[in-house]
Amino acid sequence: MTRVLRMIAYRLALGLLTLFVVSLIIFGATELLPGDFAEAILGQAATPETVAAIRRQLGLDQPLHIRYFEWLWGAVQFDFGTSLAQRGRPVADMIWVRLGNTLFLAAYAAVMAVPLALTLGILAALWRNSVFDRVANSSALSAISFPEFFVAYILIYILAQGGWFPSMARVPAGADLGEKLYRAFLPALTLTLVVTAHMMRMTRAAIINLLASPYIEMARLKGMRPSRVIVRHALPNAIAPIVNVVAINLAYLITGVVVVEVVFVYPGLGQLMVDSVSRRDIPVVQAVALIFAAAYVLLNLTADVISTLSNPRLMHRK
């Protein structure tokens, strides 16, 4: 047991280290900005005096490493400084509500996509080369090939035009859950369709790989029922690959969310990031990028830990 704990501690430490380096990259990238940060803020109004004043105000006259650690220390406490575009407004204020909205949307899509994709993927693997498998496989291949905004606009064209669902997913403050689910249905459905395709294909591949193992053949040759072969012999060994598939695709959701939020004008982090990129509002971009990257790293870390725990070779040493 202690060995497993040590292993998990090692993974956690590695995850933290990755996050640390990621933060370095995100912060360091800003330093590559051609010209001066302060000039970028002031634009046309830049005079030597105003630039110097802004530099002092933002702490840009400090050396690089001090600024980095101040930024990181702030970020850990969820203080990302103030926005450049909306002068004086703390970035954290802009992020809080939107983070909640984005998580809601991602969770909404995940709840629909994960069971659907796993079921379809497992069925396609079990009925390999059947008509079902072929249709599911080529539809999935097509769906993967569609840009998210294409899927989104098709859904709008079909479902929103008839007035069944709103194409603008602005969620009014204080809306109840039912209202929220209704308003966010189209963006969630878009994400679901895109992610399901990926997840289904990966699940299918993982299960087919597993079913080719000699111990599955052995279980059949022992005269076990097909259902028992699946539940008792395949499933316990499928946890690790399936968890990995789910983690990879949830991580994919993070990216998908950006485009979908823009299409449906959904007030989430993705939209904020896109707006901030066009305004070159660097503190906001940094903050959002850090949050997305952290979520990504955490997902992969979780998958790693779960696969470790599901592996008898690691759980029961010699």
For the segment 160-189, give every residue that binds another protein (CB under 8 A): 160-162, 167
- Which tokens go with 117? 């994709």
Contact code string over 124-143 relative to another protein, x by CB under 8 A: --------------x--xx-
Binding-site residue total for another protein (CB under 8 A)?
Answer: 76
Q: Which residues contact 192 (CB under 8 A, 6 or more apart)?
A: 109, 112, 113, 116
* Residue of the chain from 131, 177, 214, 227 that contacts another protein (CB under 8 A): 214
Return the residue of 51, 186, 195, 254 that touches another protein, per CB under 8 A: 254
227 lies in the binding site for another protein (CB under 8 A): no
Find the binder of another protein among 297, 305, 306, 309 (CB under 8 A): 297
48 versus 223: smaller Cβ distance to another protein = 223
CB 44 within 8 A of CB 51: no
233: contact with another protein by CB under 8 A? yes
85 binds another protein (CB under 8 A): no
Who contacts 292 (Cβ-Cβ below 8 Å, separation ≥6)? 254, 269, 273
Please identify which residue in the block is written with the tokens 């008509």. Answer: 131
The residue among 38 and 289 lying less far from another protein, judged by its C-beta, is 289
> What distance in Å separates the CA atoms of residue 40 and residue 53, rounded to the nearest whole number?
14
- The yes or no reply on residue 3 touching another protein (CB under 8 A) is no
Q: Which residues of 1-39 are buried (b: 16+ CB within 10 A; e: fewer)?
A: eeebeeebeebeeebeebbeebbeebbeeeeeeeeebbb
Q: Which is nearer to another protein, 92 or 277 (CB)?
A: 277
Please identify, using beta-carbon distances, which residue of 178 and 260 lies nearer to another protein: 260
Q: Which of 190, 196, 203, 286 binds another protein (CB under 8 A)?
A: 286
Taken in order 87, 93, 96, 101, the sign of the CA dihedral is: negative
- Answer for which of 25, 53, 66, 181 binds another protein (CB under 8 A) is 25
- State the nearest-atom distance from the C-beta of 282 to another protein, in Å: 6
293 lines the binding site for another protein (CB under 8 A): yes
Residue ranges with strand state E in the chain: none
DSSP 3-state assignment of 90?
A: strand
